[in-house]
Structure 1
Amino acid sequence: MNIFQLTLSLSIIFCSLVAGFLFAFAIVVMPGIKQLTDGEYIRAFQVMDGIIQKNQPVFMLVWIGSIIIILAASVLGIGQLDSLSRFLLIAATLIYLVGVQVPTGMMNIPLNNQLQALDANNLADSELHKARENFEAPWNKSNTIRTFFAVLTSVLLVIVLLRI
């Protein structure tokens, strides 16, 4: 196994872990906390997101690592792949950056930060309801988009690996 194959394999692992994380939020976490009252929902999300915002080391390694390793695989793969595989690898990289990382930075993180700024214990029920209403649907929509593109990235990376 050469350095490119190792980098591509690590890229598959890291991007697939991110895809799994987003998928779990889409099909388990968010539907689970949807059953909670507005205050409970906000507080539950604040606690989960708080772990991430405190730079949980394994999460940060996987999330930031996925960006670094897919970029490294793309650079290393340019001279080692045939034109179709090179196209698939570059497409996977762009899809991952634009379809996963851009929505994260432009939509999910700002929404997370808005929710983190709330003192759920000291808001009226109407304020809690409005805060949840402003957060839940946009966050879930963006997460669905991120999940789709993260899974697509992993599939494309596996196809590239199988073509080597």
Structure 2
Amino acid sequence: MFQVIDGVIQDNQPFFMFVWIGSAIAIVVAAVIGFSQIDGADRTLLIAAAVVYLLGVQLLTVRINIPLNNKIQAIDVEQKDDQELLAARADFEAQWNRWNVFRTVVSIAIALSLHVLLLRI
């Protein structure tokens, strides 16, 4: 099932690509615009949020989660026995879940930081 879902996502689906790439562009644009509009701790928080998002979410996605997804995509499930499939899943799932939880926590922290900034403006 994961292979099917990931295959759809990695097939350059326009909506997914818009949201994924758009989020990176949006935070960079917000940081550039905000840099000239706010100062002090607010400016620092905005720049930190943008950098942490780009490194802690986007870069991790590209460097860790996508390669793991590609590794699981390459498995020919029809040619593997149950033990091989269980081993492949165990190898994949623990790493993928760990990094996905990390990205989720970072994303929530960034969203909260940006909401705090919006409330201060």
By the TM > 0.5 criterion, same fold? yes
How high is the TM-score relative to the length of structure 2?
A: 0.96
Matched, 1:119 2:112: no
Give 1:32's aligned residue: none
**Superposition deviation, residue 150 in structure 1:** 0.6
Name stretches of at least 5 consecutive residues in structure 1 with no aligned partner.
Answer: 1-43
Partner deviation per Cα, 1:85-138 (whole Å, 9 max, x = no partner)? 111111110111111112111111000000001111221112111111110000
Q: For 1:77-116, what aligned pairs fall within 5 Å after superposition?
A: 77-116=34-73
Opposite residue 89 of structure 1, the aligned amino acid is L
Q: 1:68 aligns with which of 19, 22, 25?
A: 25
Matched, 1:46 2:8: no
Opposite residue 4 of structure 2, the aligned amino acid is V
Name stretches of at least 5 consecutive residues in structure 2 with no aligned partner.
Answer: none
Q: 2:94 aligns with which of 120, 131, 137?
A: 137
Q: Following the alignment from structure 1 to structure 2, what is the Cα–Cα distance between the partners of residues 75 and 62?
A: 20
Identity of aligned residues (%): 52
Q: 1:152 aligns with which of 84, 89, 109?
A: 109
Q: Following the alignment from structure 1 to structure 2, what is the Cα–Cα distance between the partners of residues 54 and 104?
A: 16
How high is the TM-score relative to the length of structure 1?
A: 0.71
